Structure 1
Amino acid sequence: MELWNVVFVWCVLRLGFLHHTEAIVKLRGNETIPALILFGDSIVDTGANNNLITAFKSNFPPYGRDFHAAQPTGRFSNGKVPSDFVAEELGINEYSVTYTSPNLQPDDLLKGINFASGGAGYDPFTAQLASVVPLSEQLEQFKEYIGKLKANFGEAKTNFILSKSLVLVVSSSNDIANTYFASGIRKLDYDVPSYTDVLVQLASSFVKELYGLGVRRMGVFGAPPLGCLPFMRTMFGGLERKCREEINMASKLFNSKISSELHKLHQNWPQAKIVYINIYDPLLNIIQNPMKYGLEVVDRGCCGTGSVEAGILCNPLDLQTCTDDSKYVFWDSYHPTQRTYQILVGEILNKYVNNFS
């Protein structure tokens, strides 16, 4: 069981292509998004875990085999991750830069920073279990970032960046799939309704902290259909490895509650844009209708057998890794392929981007 506790879930989404010199996505009223700031887990992590002692790492082959120069950078996929594509789609930058990157330059601060750490969640115990950067520390790093902005570019520029940037929070998957279901640790204290209440309270507090620091455009992702992840199929789907509806129902319950909470916050802060982003339905649609998107394999990842491999278990020794990942919904047993992310991002931006105008 300890092995499984080390490996678990992260989730879903991704975006289209473009040159960073010109935005493809336009906001109403000539509004601009000068920077992209990210918090959360491995769906948007671009290398925060590289120097940590944790099993939640991906800075080795075959990760990144379709990235620039086939470079494994700590992104949990075969290529770019959603944070890169969102930045590119909005015309901000070609890649999302990790806050702890040794190559971070002062000018990078103006384009936004990525604080996300694979394996993190709203529940502080989730990051502790994975030995990764919790959201509380990501928030402290954000405060440092604000200080660096002020020191380098002044108060007025800093306030502009904070109020006009798009801030995305991608969390909850590790809490539900790993800390609650796979390890069973939180089951000792909570049933699903009460645990999702806790997660929503923690998420709300995090959003309020960001608002207090000057953030005015926030997109908060719901949970994906976690019961359909290849690893969860292996653990809970029986011999046929079917999607586990109990886990999907937990995702939907959390999504209903967080959507309602964000709506209340949006009403209380009329000058802010607080948007719930539904990732559950778009991903489930891809899983249920893969041929519509030119995909074929939905129940296992490309890496190794695709049934359990993720993080350190997805490594150069996995000789079974597929040769054509463009036909797969999932890259490893938790994370989608670049192709899946690309499909999801197009749908998400088209649906939500003008909510931030």
Structure 2
Amino acid sequence: MFKEFIGKLNGIVGMERTKFILANSIYLVVAGSDDIANTYFVAHARELQYDIPSYTNLMVNSASEFLNQIYALGARRIAVFSTPPIGCVPSQRTLAGGLQRGCADKYNEAAKMFNSKLNANIDSLNRKLPKSRIVYIDVYNALLDLIENPENHGFHVVEKGCCGTGVIEVAILCNPASPICENASDHVFWDSYHPTEAAYIALISSLLQRYLSSFF
């Protein structure tokens, strides 16, 4: 799709202007959460092939390959988001958090292992790729702060989402027929996996203040 976009842009503004636009745009790369939470732990699709250290190595290698590919296509300013504390999202609390639905520690440990390796890999890529500004964005601790200190950010409900029961429904299971909480802005999570609009606003505000200057 990126290659298709570049072709269209070339047709509109020409090759030189396209190169300028590509080099000065900011690219947001978000990946990893589903690979750990769903592919590895829930579906067990990779758990039989890899232990967590080797699986996170596989993930980092894949991320590195992708970053090299978009760099080769002209991207220079790239924000790479870490994996969040997926063990603390409502669905994973339900599936792996025990009777008390606490945070699933093994999920979070896997996320932190991947994030550490990803951060180191990004440092390496910045040294190897001329004029690159690849920035590791720490979403893990930013979201964990909302979860552990919700009142500081105006939230009151952390352990369940606003949609349905809030403990397992996600994506298409949250639909016009689903019951909805009275005030979604009180909740950190919209469904059992994804943050609410209010939580995203809080996260982006925090991350912009910390990282925006890294690209200029």
State TM-score, norm by structure 1: 0.60
Deviation at 1:269, TM superposition (A): 2.2
Bigger RCO (CA 8 Å, 6+ sep): 1
SS of residue matched to 1:300: coil
Q: What residue identity is the alignment partner of 2:131?
A: Q
- 1:250 matched to 2:115? The reply is no
> How is 1:206-245 mapped onto 2 (pairs within 5 angstroms)?
206-245=66-105
Deviation at 1:318, TM superposition (A): 1.6
Deviation at 1:270, TM superposition (A): 4.1
RMSD of aligned residue pairs (Cα, Å):
0.7
Q: Which residue of 1 aligns with 2:29?
A: 169
Superposed CA deviations along residues 21-69 of structure 1, whole A, max 9, x for unmatched, are xxxxxxxxxxxxxxxxxxxxxxxxxxxxxxxxxxxxxxxxxxxxxxxxx
- 1:276 matched to 2:114? The reply is no
Deviation at 1:315, TM superposition (A): 1.5
Q: What residue identity is the alignment partner of 1:208?
A: N
SS of residue matched to 1:168: strand
> How is 1:256-295 mapped onto 2 (pairs within 5 angstroms)?
256-295=116-155
- 1:196 matched to 2:42? The reply is no
Q: Which residue of 2 aligns with 1:326?
A: 185
Task: Indicate which of 168, 175, 187 corresponds to 2:47.
Answer: 187
Partners of 1:333 and 1:322 lie apart in 2 by 13
SS of residue matched to 2:193: coil
Superposed CA deviations along residues 237-260 of structure 1, whole A, max 9, x for unmatched, are 111100011100000000000000
Q: What residue identity is the alignment partner of 2:172?
A: I
Superposed CA deviations along residues 93-140 of structure 1, whole A, max 9, x for unmatched, are xxxxxxxxxxxxxxxxxxxxxxxxxxxxxxxxxxxxxxxxxxxxxxxx
Partners of 2:149 and 2:130 lie apart in 1 by 39
Partners of 1:317 and 1:237 lie apart in 2 by 28
- 1:155 matched to 2:12? The reply is no
Task: Indicate which of 163, 166, 170 corresponds to 1:306.
Answer: 166
Q: List alignment gaps of at least 5 residues for structure 1.
A: 1-140
SS of residue matched to 1:297: coil
Deviation at 1:316, TM superposition (A): 2.1
Partners of 1:187 and 1:310 lie apart in 2 by 23
SS of residue matched to 1:239: coil
Partners of 1:205 and 1:221 lie apart in 2 by 16
Q: Which residue of 2 aligns with 1:56?
A: none
Deviation at 1:196, TM superposition (A): 0.3
Q: What residue identity is the alignment partner of 1:300?
A: K
- 1:347 matched to 2:189? The reply is no
Partners of 1:279 and 1:233 lie apart in 2 by 19
Partners of 2:134 and 2:173 lie apart in 1 by 37
Partners of 2:215 and 2:62 lie apart in 1 by 23
Partners of 1:270 and 1:210 lie apart in 2 by 14
Partners of 2:199 and 2:143 lie apart in 1 by 8
Deviation at 1:317, TM superposition (A): 2.1
Partners of 1:175 and 1:204 lie apart in 2 by 15
Partners of 1:281 and 1:270 lie apart in 2 by 30
4+ residue runs of structure 1 moved beyond 4 angstroms?
none
Deviation at 1:331, TM superposition (A): 0.3
Partners of 1:332 and 1:143 lie apart in 2 by 33
Question: Percent identity at matched positions?
Answer: 49
Partners of 1:270 and 1:278 lie apart in 2 by 24
Q: List alignment gaps of at least 5 residues for structure 2.
A: none
State TM-score, norm by structure 2: 0.98
Q: What residue identity is the alignment partner of 2:132?
A: A
**Higher relative helix content:** 2
